[in-house]
Chain A
């Protein structure tokens, strides 16, 4: 999998310049998080990956093919996109129908659909909810119904827009599981998020945008080690990283256990 972004610029019809020349390349299946304050161009950027938006200038290439070569519906077989609000996607009267809808649209054989269905339902925690009305689901379950309905299309890349928004612990945990599962199956996951705890825990690579340009792009540990730079895009490192930096450690810790281990090591060295 290779997504190449070449000097991408996008100006909305209102004259608003949302992207002012963004270039970077995503290779392989390591999950990537795109962060930055509202208006930094995150959503505009990822909407180019399946041609919901077309570049004003520059290009996005998926495995060498320019995205403008075919329609969004055609791209949906390869690039899945989960919108922030599940209500924008769901309208059928059962989870099962929602799951079958996408793959049917792009001509996946019925036998394949039925084969995928139980596994994805299980991953999304909706195994016993397949025949429930989507309206009777909780906010968390609805979100996973939307995620599952995109996973059912078995795309090579899945884009998540603010997946943890409004989620509880259980939801965030399940999301991490899904991201791990996708990577194992050789699928690339690109996520927009404000939730730095979630980003630090799941995404080895972080791209921070600011006013339509790339502010920092790199390994998440290096990115979160620069709180001063991140402030420009109103992003602050996750709480535990801030604690470790505040304690004087050079590298930000990403989990409580990790920080405690580092502390133990420090104590041993001092003893």
Chain B
């Protein structure tokens, strides 16, 4: 893990206007540069609210009572406009159809939309669109209408139009939930590669096998609270099962083998690890 902190959340609490329940309860944690952090927890745990707070939509877009604060790259999100923050931290959410601007007729225009709004010169736009199109692998789709793309393709365009603002942190709120396995894989591949290239990733995900495989650290939430934040091996050792948090099948397998006295190592996180541990157990 990096020593360099890019996000610092300090005693963050939030309650939406008109609601009684606290959506976020006294959260504190930091995210390091280049880290891959996964947020897990049952539906209604406050994962989306946390994402909205990270990018500054809470409190500027959602009215409510906020305590504590979030700072991104040293800047307090409160008092900074969301548009300004977009060049530091980008958000991609679940429904791809809600992430296109509905004002453009081609993918390239869609990618450039954010730049148009901040008044970027045209040459700069063209250069960045070309660069981003390569990153998100939509080179062949640039002239297509975004509304005619498949879910996975639109989701990649959504990531692209976020990346075009050159954020160094990407927040993904269940961005593959509504996609089929193939589309989901396409999107996830890109996220993984971006992380390798140095972008910090904060991702909400329900696919525990994937979380176990990819996360540097896992943040567990329930009922608006932060239960734990640690490495996947530490999180998936069975402690949090009672909090509505699923375990990856491999970790569950490891735990069951330990119970039967066939395995004594750390939590299993990948298919490879599980197969090897299993083979070792029956080779005895």
Contacts and interface: CB of A to CB of B under 8 A. Distances in A.
B206 A263 contact: no
Given A165-B177, A167-B206, A247-B275, A267 B282 contact: yes
Contacts of B249: 197, 238-240, 243, 256
A25 interface: no
A263 B257 CA distance: 9
A110 interface: no
Contacts, number: 102
Determine the interface band of chain A, counting residues with CB < 8 A from chain B: 35 or more
B244 A170 contact: yes
B42 A168 contact: yes
A168 B43 contact: yes
A247 B282 contact: yes
Contacts of B233: none
Interface in B163-195: 174, 177-178, 180-183
A88 to B, nearest CB: 13
B256 interface: yes
Interface in A212-271: 234-236, 238-240, 242-244, 246-248, 256-257, 259-260, 263-264, 266-267, 270
A167 B246 CA distance: 11
A13 interface: no
Given A38-B182, A234-B182, A246 B271 contact: yes
Given A37-B180, A243-B274, 18 more contacts: A37-B181, A165-B177, A165-B178, A166-B206, A167-B43, A170-B42, A234-B180, A239-B248, A239-B274, A242-B271, A243-B253, A243-B278, A257-B256, A259-B278, A263-B282, A264-B262, A267-B282, A270-B282
A240 B44 CA distance: 28
Interface string A32-45: 00000110000000
Interface string B228-271: 00000000000000001110111011001101101000000001
A243 B250 contact: yes
B181 A166 contact: no
A138 B44 contact: yes
Interface of A: 37-38, 138-140, 165-171, 194, 197, 234-236, 238-240, 242-244, 246-248, 256-257, 259-260, 263-264, 266-267, 270
B269 to A, nearest CB: 11
Interface in B138-165: 150-151
B282 A246 contact: no
Contact of A38 (B180, B209, B262, B281): B180
A31 B206 CA distance: 25
A236 B184 CA distance: 14
Chain B interface residue count: which class?
35 or more
Contact of A138 (B43, B252, B256): B43
B278 A247 contact: yes
B279 interface: yes
20 contacts: A37-B182, A38-B180, A138-B43, A140-B43, A166-B174, A166-B206, A167-B43, A169-B42, A194-B181, A197-B249, A239-B271, A239-B274, A244-B278, A247-B275, A247-B279, A259-B278, A260-B257, A260-B260, A263-B257, A263-B260
Interface of B: 41-44, 94, 150-151, 174, 177-178, 180-183, 206, 209, 244-246, 248-250, 252-253, 256-257, 259-260, 262, 271, 274-275, 278-279, 281-282, 284
Question: Main SS of chain A's interface residues?
Answer: helix
Residue of B43, B206, B278 contacting most chain A CB atoms (<10 Å): B43
Contacts of B256: 256-257, 259-260
A260 B44 contact: no
A170 B243 CA distance: 10
Nearest to A171: B43
B41 to A, nearest CB: 8
B228 to A, nearest CB: 17
Contacts of B252: 256
A71 B252 CA distance: 47
Given A138-B44, A140-B44, A246-B271, A166 B177 contact: yes
Contact of A234 (B43, B181, B209, B281): B181
A56 to B, nearest CB: 24
A44 to B, nearest CB: 15
A152 to B, nearest CB: 23
Nearest to A271: B284
A259 B246 CA distance: 19
Contact of A139 (B43, B253, B274): B43
Contacts of B257: 260, 263
B248 to A, nearest CB: 8
A250 B183 CA distance: 31
A25 to B, nearest CB: 27
Contacts of B262: 260, 263-264, 267
A256 B253 contact: yes
A239 B42 CA distance: 21
